[in-house]
Amino acid sequence: MPIVTLVQAINMALDEELRRDERVMILGEDVGQRGGVFLATEGLQQKYGPDRVMDTPLSEAAILGAAVGLAAHGMRPVAEIQFADYVFPGIDQLFSQAAKLRYRSGGQFTAPMVVRMPSGGGVKGGHHHSQSPEAHFAHTPGLKVVVVSTPYDAKGLLKSAIRDDDPVVFMEPKRLYRAVKEEVPSDDYLIPIGKAALRREGRDITLVSYGGPMVETLKAAEEMAVAGVEAEVIDLRTVMPWDKETVLNSVAKTGRLLVVSEAPRTASVASEVAATVSEELFDQLLAPPLRVTGFDTPYPLAQDKLYMPTVTRILNAAKRLLDY
């Protein structure tokens, strides 16, 4: 199996789906000849032509509006938003149209479309190139929301998203694009949307994360193991719908929960996981669930490293739980 980066795995998935299904097409700013700002679509226009890998004007409303229309009429468009921060001019198309098309038409129409977007911080991008807006999408009924952290998952989940009959927001932590490598099969495989991954087994505390902070979460778990604490680590992979069963089963075993996310703290995915565990497992908890998250501020440039969840912040929170 080839050893590839996360962004190369994205390219592999797109290539295979374009080849497999003539209804699949890509549209977005600079996705064609340039291959995208991060080169995720590199070489695909040359291979499949400008009608299937289409450069668009600098208009997120146009990109997402066109994708909704294409999806409603039988195509399977993959729309790329250059940075997650840029999606907001097209939010009405995504929230009011794509997310509600199946419901408002009584099932007569669906919107089988994917909206890919690089997300998250850690690259000194400042407040317009570093946000993690997954909670906005998760709060919108009708959307599925995926946030990947490994090349293997990126390929399998993107292929599943493209084949799904409902709109999927597919978020790719840009700081991991070329920071992680692993073996990824060249043949076809799918990973189900809505199923978490158990990254490490443990008995003392459950660490739940997704996307970019999975790196720091796993490093923290390794340091805990040196001190004799066995942490169970869960990668949500999908934040809507999220895998409640896997998380609840783990916390029922360990009695402690720590959720790690780089998104702002209030009304976050981390808050939802912590609240659900509190409601469902109150009598089995050995300590109140804790969160290590970003802050309720615009994403800072100068304080980039202070904003992100770090191994030290995770270890300090874990100690609070273990000492409770």
Rounded CA-CA distance 39/243 in Å is 31
Residues 6+ apart with CB under 8 A from 229: 202, 204, 205, 318, 322
Angle at 192 between CA 189 and CA 195, to 5 degrees: 135
Q: Which of 73, 129, 136, 139 is catalytic?
A: 129
- For 304, half-sphere exposure in the C-beta direction (CA atoms, 13 angstrom radius) is 15
**What phi, psi does 233 have (nearest 5°)?**
-115, 125
Residues 6+ apart with CB under 8 A from 112: 71, 76, 164, 165, 166, 167
**Which residues on adjacent β-strands are paired with residue 255?**
none
Question: Exposed, middle or buried, 3 (CB in 10 Å: 0-12/13-18/19+)?
Answer: exposed
Residues 6+ apart with CB under 8 A from 38: 7, 118, 174, 177
Positive or negative, the Cα torsion across 158, 91, 167, 35?
A: negative
Respond yes or no: is residue 129 known to be catalytic.
yes
Residues labelled catalytic: 129
